[in-house]
Structure 1
């Protein structure tokens, strides 16, 4: 019989503007301590540890884990861009399923310096027009992959496509932005929780870079029973994939940014978990842009693409059931610390499923989905469910 993977403890630091006084190691250690305290598990019971970060030298993850009291056990680090956090989580889960460990800690963190401006983070300082035009004119799948070198141009093209090819109304973009700010205002861990207005949003509707950390303690059902843990949230499915040449043949900017692969992986996750999109109570998706928020909602089966305008306004899925998308504020509201973001999404879902999300709580939440993407290059979908 397959092992059941449970989430026993979670912790997070508030996401903060770049260039803060707290360094990456300190942020990570605070999140780790919070997760261990939440689970009421001593650090000596952790069999393996996985870290995820993007900004920092080789060995930083091992150093952070060792100074948090996790030295002497297998330590693993992922630096896979925006996909780093979910990569670490999925590798940790596989260790449990394979019987190599019973209790594993995952931490994602990043503390970028103030010198990394929002423009630099998204490549807005670049002027790639000649190269971009050449890639736009090519019908080779390799050209589609190369377009990911220019994220700002990709997101601008995404917005243009939604407005002109899919007839998404401009006020729908404003609706998504407004809800992100509103939900972030309810979230003490969000970058925008103290924001007084919507200034600082980057065209075309991009999230803000941030610093922060988040951690998870995951374990087997047997481990939870042995130590009397309150682990009531199970990982029903967690899948990861990349796009195929066939999926990129149309050279559609929406598919370059992960639409088709997200749709395929979501179906795989639903089949593995034994649930459907209509059963989801909340979703934390990788809304690096407002266009991501819209297109990913449809790719996950929450609505049809022609229903995006209505879904943004009413939050009702294709079956007329309400589903909350990014109750945390998402990347648009919480901010985006690349190494921490995927783990932070899972932490928020655990709080929601436990009924601990306070003023942003989704009432009666039982089943939740997390989706992350690194410019469409590496996509992950995970489904959690409250089982106790």
Structure 2
């Protein structure tokens, strides 16, 4: 059995800096309630919940969901690093598509602390240990620099070496992100910045400056997915469907080819995108709007090519020509992306989903991409997992 999967409702709360948010359970419950209200259904109709977060104790998902209702349904807690939110969506979509349930909720939240990401345990091997060894072998390790910035900055360096692009090209992505976020009331950073300001901000790890790195953020987002038959039975909005979705993990090339772009998931991205395009019968030329994983400007740039939005070696021209924004070929991260909207790890994938559903419904207000019919989502987690989702307006 393979049911058509409708995204009947989405919701999120405004993202904030650490220390300025409600607790994770309140944030999660509020996002779930917003998605239910958007779908115009009662929580009693939801048959399963998939709840994602990275930093939290076991069954934090229940703590959030119980703030919505106590109906006894299965609640599955999900942790897949930065791709956690879209992994929860992947599982919810899979449950509906298979016919196991008619309606499910995917919820993601994160209550973060200031500063660079750190592991929770020091008494056992880190799941990032193999990645760190590979990075050190390829480019060394710089004490004092955030590890994530070294991974993605290294990917940027490898791209620069191969294609001889300017460091300012990465900075232009931050300028674009802030311009988009200025139109988004849910974003953390809504003030615009100039290229000069981006490049003059403190160096983090060459070629990345502080304004080219996503901030730690608190927030939550959710989606209600259901079968088309369920949606029609209950009079729900059936305009937006998940046309295709793929999750990939690492292969040997991540560790064996000495390329930092592959260490940070380029091959996972490319494989997931190809699988989605093949399954949907849609190509990158058919996409009008994209929410992609811009944790650092370098990752946005290499992801343009990983998703097939522009051919290999042409990302700089793609940016300089304005093909990544309004008036160009495909609007990337109209929400402001992780760089400006913020990156609460467990919520990010579902915030991307929310933005794209709004876009396809024509409800994105000042951010609206005119004529959007196909929307692509890319959510990446080192360690590793990549989820690519293609949404279609029926």
TM-score of the alignment, normalized to the shorter chain, above 0.5: yes
Q: Which residue of 2 aligns with 1:183?
A: 180
Aligned 8 A contact 1:108 1:340 in 2: yes
| Distance change in 2, residues 1:321/1:119 (3 Å) | closer
> For the residues of structure 1 that align with 2:304 and 2:193, how far apart are their CA atoms?
28
Aligned 8 A contact 1:65 1:71 in 2: no
What does 1:160-199 align with in structure 2 at a 5 Å threshold? 160-193=157-190
| Distance change in 2, residues 1:6/1:26 (3 Å) | same
Aligned 8 A contact 1:369 1:383 in 2: yes
| Distance change in 2, residues 1:312/1:67 (3 Å) | same
Aligned 8 A contact 1:9 1:231 in 2: no
> For the residues of structure 2 that align with 1:101 and 1:326, how far apart are their CA atoms?
32
Aligned with residue 251 of structure 1, among 230, 245, 258: 258
What does 1:356-371 align with in structure 2 at a 5 Å threshold? 356-371=363-378
Q: Normalising by structure 2, what TM-score?
A: 0.87
60-69 or 271-280: bigger deviation: 60-69
Q: Which residue of 1 aligns with 2:219?
A: 212
Q: Which residue of 2 aligns with 1:267?
A: 274
- Does 2:77 correspond to 1:80? no
| Distance change in 2, residues 1:258/1:246 (3 Å) | closer
What does 1:103-182 align with in structure 2 at a 5 Å threshold? 103-112=103-112, 116-120=113-117, 135=134, 138=137, 150-182=147-179
| Distance change in 2, residues 1:134/1:295 (3 Å) | closer
- Does 2:339 correspond to 1:332? yes
RMSD: 2.6
Q: Normalising by structure 1, what TM-score?
A: 0.88
Q: CA deviation at 1:39?
A: 0.8
> For the residues of structure 2 that align with 1:36 and 1:133, how far apart are their CA atoms?
41
Deviations 1:37-68 (A, max 9, x none): 11110111111111111122111111211221
Aligned 8 A contact 2:8 2:224 in 1: yes
Aligned 8 A contact 1:289 1:332 in 2: yes
The structure that is helix-richer by fraction is: 1
Q: Which residue of 1 aligns with 2:94?
A: 94
| Distance change in 2, residues 1:42/1:177 (3 Å) | same
- Number of equivalent positions: 367
Q: CA deviation at 1:301?
A: 0.5
Aligned 8 A contact 1:121 1:209 in 2: no
Aligned 8 A contact 2:264 2:382 in 1: yes
Aligned to 1:6, the other structure's residue is in SS state strand
> For the residues of structure 2 that align with 1:221 and 1:202, how far apart are their CA atoms?
50
What does 1:37-56 align with in structure 2 at a 5 Å threshold? 37-56=37-56
Structure 2 unaligned blocks of 5 or more: 121-129, 141-145
Aligned to 1:192, the other structure's residue is in SS state coil
